[in-house]
């Protein structure tokens, strides 16, 4: 029965109904009814919250045994996550290089424009008869 497995988990973790209620966010009256077996069909969400609050696993509660070695599974998961991280970093580095090139080109264009404007102003000031500024 579900409530017997929950009771065993509760006893192994040495928790009270109130502690489980506070950690899970499930009202203590509901937790109490679930642990006493008064609730025939508790909601899945309540069971999830209670089991997680007690530090248990839904697989253990359901009696599902993992046939694979957890070390092997963790290593595979770790390797996959590392590969995904590397790919994401490479994508970001390519994006940074692209934006760096764009900023470099815009900087050169801006500096060239400023130099041209300064040269025109110097020419204009040096030649009072011609140009935009007249005295």
Residue 53: give its domain's CATH number. 1.10.260.40
The pLDDT value given to residue 71: 54
Domain contains 35:
yes
What are the tokens at 89?
A: 């970093």
Domain contains 68:
no
Distance linking the first and last C-alpha atoms of the chain: 102
Domain contains 73:
no
Give the contacts of 15 (CB within 8 A, at least 6 positions apart).
54
Domain contains 87:
no
Measured CA to CA in angstroms, residue 109 lies from 95, 103, 112, 114, 117 at distances of: 21, 10, 5, 9, 12
Domain contains 33:
yes
Domain residues for the domain of 43 are: 2-62
The pLDDT value given to residue 111: 98
Domain contains 112:
no
The pLDDT value given to residue 110: 98
The pLDDT value given to residue 48: 86
Domain contains 27:
yes
Which segments in the chain show pLDDT lower than 70?
Answer: 1, 65-74, 131-135
Q: What is the tally of structural domains in the chain? A: 1
The pLDDT value given to residue 117: 93
């Amino acid at each position: 029965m579900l409530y017997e497995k929950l009771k065993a988990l509760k006893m192994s973790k040495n928790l009270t109904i109130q502690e489980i209620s506070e950690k899970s966010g499930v009202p203590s009256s509901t937790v109490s009814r679930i642990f006493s077996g008064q609730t025939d069909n508790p909601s899945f969400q309540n069971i999830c919250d209670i089991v997680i609050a007690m530090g248990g696993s839904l697989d253990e509660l359901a009696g599902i045994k993992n046939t694979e070695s957890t070390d092997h599974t963790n290593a595979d998961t770790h390797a996959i996550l590392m590969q995904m991280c590397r790919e994401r970093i490479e994508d970001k580095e390519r994006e940074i290089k692209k934006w760096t090139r764009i900023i470099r080109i815009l900087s050169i264009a801006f500096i060239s424009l400023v130099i041209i404007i300064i040269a025109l102003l110097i020419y204009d000031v040096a030649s009072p008869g011609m140009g935009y500024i007249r005295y």
